[in-house]
Structure 1
Amino acid sequence: MKKRQFCIERFKNRVVVDSNYAEKTWKILEDAIHDIYNHNACDPTFDELSRNAYNMVLHRFGEKLYTGLEKTMTSHLKQISQSIESAQGESFLEELNRKWVDHNKALGKIRDILMYMDRTFVPSNHKTPVHELGMNLWRDVVIHSNKTKTRLRDTLLDLVLRERNGEVISRGLMRNLLKMLMDLGSSVYQKDFEDRFLEASEIFYSCESEKFIKSCDCEDYLKKVESCLNIEKERASHYLDSSSESKIISVVEKKMIENHRHTLIDMNKSVLVNMLRGDKYEDLERMFNMFRRVHSGLTIIKDVMTSFIRDTGKQLIMDPERLKNPVDFVQCLLVLKDKYDKVITLAFANDKSFQNALNSAFEYFINLSARSPEFISLFVDDKLRREIKGVGEEDVETVLDKVMMLFRYLQEKDVFEKYYKQHLAKRLLSRKTVSEEAERSLIFKLKTECGYQFTSKLEGMFTDMKTSYDTMQGFLADHGAQLGDSPTLSVQVLTTGSWPTQPSPQCNLPSEIRGLCEKFRNYYLGPHSGRRLTWQANMGNADLKATFGKGQKHELNVSTYQMCVLMLFNNADRMTCKEIEQATAIPMSDLKRCLQSLALVKGKNVLRKELMSKDISEDDVFFFNEKFTSKLFKVKIGTVVAQRETEPENIETRQRVEEERKPQIETAIVRVMKSRRVLEHNNVIAEVTKQLQARFLPNPVVIKKQIESLIEREFLERDKVDRELYRYLA
């Protein structure tokens, strides 16, 4: 079936109402509005009033209703404004607040009565909603009246000033009135109060800062600034709008910190330096927290701290007295590092930029001294020796972690490797190390920092020690019965290249030892016929049984050189230094140190020297000290050697290091050129430096020389047009 369509038509006849309906109805509503403002009870009920308003809008009298509402409210607000203006003194704000509360209550009731108009007539005719209309009228008629606007602002600012000067004010009243301004619109709050409030605050804190800066030291000044910031933050939370907090805090920061930041830093001949010297963590933290609030504030603190640490470190590095004892020298560096690590942790919130500045300062002054790599290695050697008492493995591990921090600052890590290898060799060969675990732990740290190549030879030294132990066990198993009462021999076979052995003159060993050495040589070279053994007497040690006057016996722990010297006195009563040299073939420089330790060290002078003096000449005469006594049965006699190298030795070590660097520089140049094929001179320098800086910082002059060498050997060539351009020759 076909669907039927329905159409509803509007009434053809308009509903006719009483011609006086609008006036009568509005009169009822107007009276109700008057009663609401006058706090009188309304005769019509709320439902009746709402129905009347509804009917007026329904019968198209909405415009009359809206216009009448606006006029009635304006009339009442003018009366309210006059009442407020007539209030005197402090009652002005109280009256304003009371009338504002009444207006809000009245506005709420009126809006409820006119809800239908608000929902239909207002949006369709682009009118202002009832509540917003009431707010706008309050703003224009009451707040912006000629007598109220300026008076309100000045009164509010005066209350803030009085509170800043220590008086107690009604914060609740302030909060209500400022919230009123904010409710009227953020622009009203800003123009009628906030702008002038911030201007007045700038003037106030400018004066306060000038007063404080003249009467306080830096520490007290910063405490006052901190107090002002806290007070303003508290004030903002109590009665200012939340948007004002950051603005007033910014005013305090600018006027009290930013404008005086240089004065504060330089106060009392650099107050920051005095704080750093005196470990004033609380004051430093306060300064950090204050200065971080302003532009470039932390940069100023960081620059002063960096400069001070550089100067302090430079004085330490250049102090000749400190350089006399390498261990104390490095200990001072560690104490200095711990001190400023603590400052950055406790006072500077572990700020990354401050940590970088500290690292930069240490890297600067540690590399001012060419002896730093040697001294750090000597410090490690001191801590890893077994005879150090009161130092456990855990303590050693902590110390090693700290040493690694200093190691990272070194630009010449290969120089450290050179010295560390020498000191490690002495510890291993003399078996005077805290533990193999501690030694391997440090090598692992070095490998992590610099790579496998840096530690490969160091690990080879441990391998040699294990192999040597197994070899000696085999030797004793094969020849133990033949040795009888012969001296006991222990040999470590060191691989050339892994150990820091230098060609040394062959010492004339005692006959009792030479036979044993020859037996070991024959045993070792049997299965290793292609190898060659060279005795390094300068790296050995021995235990001797000695009998002194009255039959007193002692066991002397000495170096191999010292053993050779002492064994001569089995067959001689007196010998000159020259005669001892001829008999032993020990180099004179080493011999003099041996004789000094044997004859001139109190409590260990198993030899005596005629004409006692610290210096030894070739004609000095030595004889066996029959009167030697000691409370200990085992007496260790160390060789008198300087903890640090002498200047000629240091120069020689440097020369060896420089020679060892050349092949590494050449390798880096070839590696760079092989990958890039064509490269400009400055870029070659930069690339090679970048590749090698993990081990050392190559000199650009040396890099250039090695480039020239590679050109001569036809690995590279210069471009025929651009002489600064290099080409790799495949």
Structure 2
Amino acid sequence: MTHSFSSNPHGQRQRDLETFWSDLRQGIDQVYNKENINKQRYMQLYSCAYDYCANVSGDPNAKANDLPKPTKKPMKATNGKQGARFIGHELYKKIKDYLEVYLEQCRAKIVEKDLQDEVLLDFYTKQWSDFRFSSKVLNGICQYLNRHWVKRKREEGNKKIYEISDLAFVQWKEHMLTPLSNQVTRAVLKLIEKERNGEVVNTGLIKTAVESFVQLGLKGNAPEARLLVYSQNFEHHFLAETTSYYTSESMLFLQQNPVPEYLKKAQKRLKDEQERCDKYLNESTRSELEKRCTQVLVEQHLEIFYSEFQNLLDNDKNEDIGRMYELVYRLEPGLKHLKQLLEEHISRVGLKAVQSCQESKESVDPKSYVQALLDVHRKYNDLVNKSFDKNSLFVQALDKACTGFINKNCVSEAANNTGKSPELLAKYCNLLLKKSSRINPEEEELESILNDVMVIFKYITEKDVFQKFYRNLLASRLVNDTSVSHDLEGSMISKLKQECGFEYTSKLQKMYTDTHTSKDLNDRFQEYCSSNPAPNDSLQGFSVMVLSDGSWPYSRPSSEFNIAPELRVIHDKFSAFYDKQHSGRKLSWLYSQSKGEVEWSRGKPKTSHRFHCTTFQLSILFQFNHRDSLTFGELQTNTMIEKALSKQPTNSETKESEIQLSDIVQLNLSYSNRKIRVNLALPLKSEAKQETEQAHQSVKDDRMLVIQACIVRTMKSRKQLKHSLLLAEVMQQLQNFQPSVPAIKKCIGILIEKDYIERLNGENDTYQYRA
């Protein structure tokens, strides 16, 4: 539909406007009465609104050149500065008046029928849905008005002029929402309460009502302003109602039910509110709703939770513990207290487990001891992983508790030695990796057990003690060829290296390498003997291990020893062979670590025994090849064995006693034993105890040197340092043990005496490095 204008009088123009509005009004009625409007009718209404806006203004102040010249062609819209001037104000006002009347009629129906609660909500939401859709259609019809007159007015600063869709919402808010807000909100809250009580309700009504509050926020406003209608008319009341509801319910439920049941109830309630947010609440409510629910359902009952937490731990109620964690996780201070309770509990359980495996004050089985530690760690590590979702706070609690009871417990107190745990752990590794009469586990199983060992090793504070004992026991396994698997030995060294670094395992790695090098050397020596045969050099099973000096826990012999003539030939032949292979190297024979087997036959018919002996024992037994008795002095002269070593009995059942040079040592011709193979090289218990004490003393001596080296290294770098800072630096740098303050002070005194450092003049608490 198009219209053109000529110089008609003002009255005629006004009649045309009324005609336009009459036609447009009829179309608006169709829109809000939900009559079917086809595309053609929609375009007619759009053209009608356009023609209304494009009519010539009756403004007496309009300039002549603003007025269009008579034309027979349809007028084209301009920007308002030239040609036709828009009279959108009249159309805008007529639409506003129409909406006011329409909405007042809607509200009158509610008052007339006295609608309440769900019936009111049903009517309200239906009217809102229809009104919103109709207003969207009307907005499309009036797009020309929106793009020109409304836009220009808003640009001029008139913020009370809105696009037609927003105008419709403003009118709804003024004539429907404001008068009915309390009734509508109350009806929504009642439905939500019914749903919380387990009743089935029409959540679609709630969703539509809540959406109406949100959508009544105007598009042009800031996000907070757009939600102002929602917040003031609904959210504020909803949150207050939620707080009141759950405060009453939680208190009553706890009075009638145990805490574990309440945990389930609270967990379900929080989940319900999250789902409620997803179903029909605005996302902006989620954070505050969660906060309110957490405060009422969890924070107000924390003291009850703490009291119950210990019971749950004592009874291994891991699922309930997990529920409590999920609830308290929402409150950071609450987690810290749970963490403290867990740490104290693990410490108590760990100390009790160690106490149960202690056989006596002096005897502790390494296997039982380590298994007790592992059982406690495994149990609570599983709890932390599953019930506490590997939360770092509770991982720290587990680590701190394990570090405490593993390093300081009744076993270490009985021994008066904080290095008892690393000693027992090293001995347990020896039981795993050493061949024994029992059936050893498969390699894969052993690998898994060694991984468990490393779990305990991680908590050991005095790792240098473990290193000392492990090195001694590894040396024994390698020298005596009693390792279950050389691959497992290498694997264990790799694990230690990964945990503590290259320096920690450098000697262990060298020892492991020496075994392979020695195997190749023995193979070449056998080839050499085959190519250069000699009489009396064919000792069966002869092999030599060449150990790198400084890597193995053995010292060079301090006295000479006359090796038996029966062993001398092959001994000298290997020495000559090695000198040819490695010129410039010198072999020092460690007879104390050498062993062999000798066969003894006697009687008619002859009975034979094979004795496994040390080299010293072999040399003594060989003395009786031609005589049945010798004096102690003769034995010592012939073998040149030190007197202390000579006291070592040839039979492990013989008791040690004072021996004089004139005493006669006689061969026991009546010796009998049901075993064909007899091991005479077993260490005495007194020797094992002495070796343990020596190992611990060696660790103490080594620590003093390590502390001194650390002090010198630090002072060389800093030049000057105060006493307190030097202590802190040393404690921070030393990772394999925790040096005591008295030990550091003693080392500082030693270094001052050696002129490595000195006290600064006039400042006794400050040290200075001396180059």
TM-score, scaled to structure 1: 0.82
Of 293, 296, 305, the residue aligned with 1:264 is: 305
8 Å contact 1:576–1:622 — kept in the other structure? no
8 Å contact 1:506–1:535 — kept in the other structure? no
Deviation of 1:162 after TM superposition, in Å, equals 1.1
Of 161, 169, 182, the residue aligned with 2:214 is: 182
- Any unmatched runs of 5+ in structure 1? 1-10, 600-608, 610-614
Partners of 1:448 and 1:89 in 2: CA distance: 71
Partner of 1:163: 195
Q: What one-letter code is carried by the residue in structure 1 that aligns with 2:196? A: R
Partner of 2:453: 403
Q: What one-letter code is carried by the residue in structure 1 that aligns with 2:750? A: S
The 3 A distance-change label for structure 1 pair 636 and 332 is farther
Partner of 2:278: 237
Residues 661-694 of structure 1: CA deviation (Å, up to 9, x unaligned): 223222222221222222222222222222222x
The 3 A distance-change label for structure 1 pair 51 and 552 is same
Q: Secondary structure at the match of 1:324?
A: coil
The 3 A distance-change label for structure 1 pair 375 and 579 is farther
Partners of 2:648 and 2:262 in 1: CA distance: 66
Partners of 1:217 and 1:463 in 2: CA distance: 63
1:384 pairs with 2:433: yes
Residues 699-722 of structure 1: CA deviation (Å, up to 9, x unaligned): 232222222222233222222132
Q: What one-letter code is carried by the residue in structure 2 that aligns with 1:209? A: S
Q: Give the fraction of aligned pairs with identical amino acids, expressed as a percent.
A: 28
8 Å contact 1:381–1:423 — kept in the other structure? yes
1:683 pairs with 2:725: yes
8 Å contact 1:198–1:251 — kept in the other structure? yes
Q: Secondary structure at the match of 2:764?
A: coil
Partner of 2:673: 628
* 1:614-625 to 2 correspondences below 5 Å: none
Partners of 1:495 and 1:569 in 2: CA distance: 35
The 3 A distance-change label for structure 1 pair 98 and 462 is closer
The 3 A distance-change label for structure 1 pair 677 and 478 is farther
Partner of 2:348: 311
Q: Secondary structure at the match of 1:90?
A: helix
8 Å contact 2:613–2:681 — kept in the other structure? yes
Partner of 2:550: 497
Residues 65-91 of structure 1: CA deviation (Å, up to 9, x unaligned): 222222221122112112123224532
Q: What one-letter code is carried by the residue in structure 2 that aligns with 1:670? A: V
What is the aligned-residue RMSD (CA, Å)? 4.1
The more displaced of 118-127 and 418-427 is: 118-127
The more displaced of 449-458 and 711-720 is: 449-458
Partners of 1:461 and 1:516 in 2: CA distance: 28
Partners of 1:412 and 1:433 in 2: CA distance: 26
Residues 260-281 of structure 1: CA deviation (Å, up to 9, x unaligned): 23422321x7134236xx3x55
Partners of 1:362 and 1:129 in 2: CA distance: 69
TM-score, scaled to structure 2: 0.78
Deviation of 1:660 after TM superposition, in Å, equals 1.8
Of 696, 704, 711, the residue aligned with 1:662 is: 704
Partner of 2:293: 252
Q: Secondary structure at the match of 1:481?
A: coil
Partners of 1:42 and 1:401 in 2: CA distance: 78
8 Å contact 1:542–1:558 — kept in the other structure? yes
* 1:309-708 to 2 correspondences below 5 Å: 309-317=346-354, 320-321=358-359, 324-368=364-408, 369-387=418-436, 389-462=439-512, 464-465=514-515, 470=521, 473=526, 476=529, 481-483=534-536, 490-501=543-554, 515=568, 519=572, 523=576, 531=586, 533=588, 535-537=590-592, 539-546=593-600, 551=606, 553-559=608-614, 595=651, 598-599=652-653, 628-630=673-675, 634=677, 639=682, 641=684, 646=689, 650-693=692-735, 695-708=736-749
Partners of 2:743 and 2:567 in 1: CA distance: 47
1:81 pairs with 2:107: yes
Deviation of 1:191 after TM superposition, in Å, equals 1.4
- Any unmatched runs of 5+ in structure 2? 58-86, 155-160, 218-226, 409-417, 660-665
The more displaced of 87-96 and 38-47 is: 38-47
Of 165, 172, 177, the residue aligned with 1:143 is: 177
Q: Secondary structure at the match of 1:483?
A: coil
The 3 A distance-change label for structure 1 pair 482 and 123 is same
Partners of 1:581 and 1:15 in 2: CA distance: 150
Q: What one-letter code is carried by the residue in structure 1 that aligns with 2:53? A: V
Q: What one-letter code is carried by the residue in structure 1 that aligns with 2:674? A: T
8 Å contact 1:565–1:580 — kept in the other structure? yes
Q: What one-letter code is carried by the residue in structure 1 that aligns with 2:507? A: K
The 3 A distance-change label for structure 1 pair 523 and 96 is same
Q: What one-letter code is carried by the residue in structure 1 that aligns with 2:734? A: L
The more displaced of 567-576 and 122-131 is: 567-576
Q: What one-letter code is carried by the residue in structure 2 that aligns with 1:444? A: S
8 Å contact 2:122–2:205 — kept in the other structure? yes
Q: Secondary structure at the match of 2:195?
A: helix
Partners of 2:282 and 2:585 in 1: CA distance: 92
Partners of 1:718 and 1:236 in 2: CA distance: 71
The 3 A distance-change label for structure 1 pair 254 and 89 is closer
The 3 A distance-change label for structure 1 pair 721 and 12 is farther
8 Å contact 1:326–1:378 — kept in the other structure? yes
8 Å contact 1:153–1:192 — kept in the other structure? yes
Partner of 1:3: none
The 3 A distance-change label for structure 1 pair 345 and 573 is farther
The 3 A distance-change label for structure 1 pair 502 and 218 is farther
Deviation of 1:334 after TM superposition, in Å, equals 2.7
Partners of 2:123 and 2:22 in 1: CA distance: 30
Deviation of 1:623 after TM superposition, in Å, equals 6.0
Deviation of 1:582 after TM superposition, in Å, equals 12
Deviation of 1:423 after TM superposition, in Å, equals 0.5
Deviation of 1:415 after TM superposition, in Å, equals 1.7
Q: What one-letter code is carried by the residue in structure 1 that aligns with 2:702? A: E
Partners of 2:297 and 2:684 in 1: CA distance: 61
Partners of 2:23 and 2:585 in 1: CA distance: 128
Partners of 1:408 and 1:561 in 2: CA distance: 41
The 3 A distance-change label for structure 1 pair 587 and 315 is farther
Partners of 1:309 and 1:233 in 2: CA distance: 35
